[in-house]
Amino acid sequence: MFTGRCRIPLSQVGEGVSTFTLSVGFTDLVGETDSRFPDNMVVEVEITPVDDDFLSRLRVSTKIRLICDRCGETFSRELEGRVDTVYTQDPVRSGNEDADMRWLPPEQNFIDVADDIRDALILAVPDKCLCREDCKGLCVRCGANLNKTTCVCPKNKEDSRWDALKNIKFD
């Protein structure tokens, strides 16, 4: 699904650095929603023309909804991603497999930064996440969320399954 929201018209790109601010929803990128990205994202793009190329510096910031690895709670945090790309109208240079070089057909009068936004998000989304640095997690015995409550389970750190082993006498 294409919405045109990620397009930067080249007619608005002047000499030097031109700055654009876009408001883009996740559906504008892939045509479907993603519960991790409930809000529109703010995308700032700096375009600098150099010969047959346009240098693009893109920054995306948005709120991301994550699930804590330790306690399983859903929480939100600010996410910021950046990606630099060269859009080139030179077919030879666009042919080399350089990941940060994209082909810009000379007859096309806009740059579509949807792929750059996607790349910036992919790079920025954390693999592991905690709702807070000192998340206490869940009680291994009763499952209580120890950030919210204290349970009555014994607080020794050792797993009770090892208790039986400790009582074995080797002699």
Under the rule (CB under 5 A), what is the footprint of Zn ion? 68, 70-71, 131, 135, 139, 141-142, 144, 151, 153
Q: How far is the CB of 63 from Zn ion (least distance, A)?
A: 18
Q: How far is the CB of 160 from Zn ion (least distance, A)?
A: 12
CB-nearer residue toward Zn ion: 84 or 141? 141
Q: How far is the CB of 161 from Zn ion (least distance, A)?
A: 15
Which of 44, 30, 38, 117 has the alpha carbon at shortest distance from 76?
A: 38
The DSSP string of 22-55 is EEE-HHHHHSS--TT--SPEEEEEEEEEETTEEE
CB-nearer residue toward Zn ion: 6 or 68? 68
CB-nearer residue toward Zn ion: 124 or 130? 130
| H runs (alpha helix) in the chain | 26-30, 91-95, 114-124, 163-166
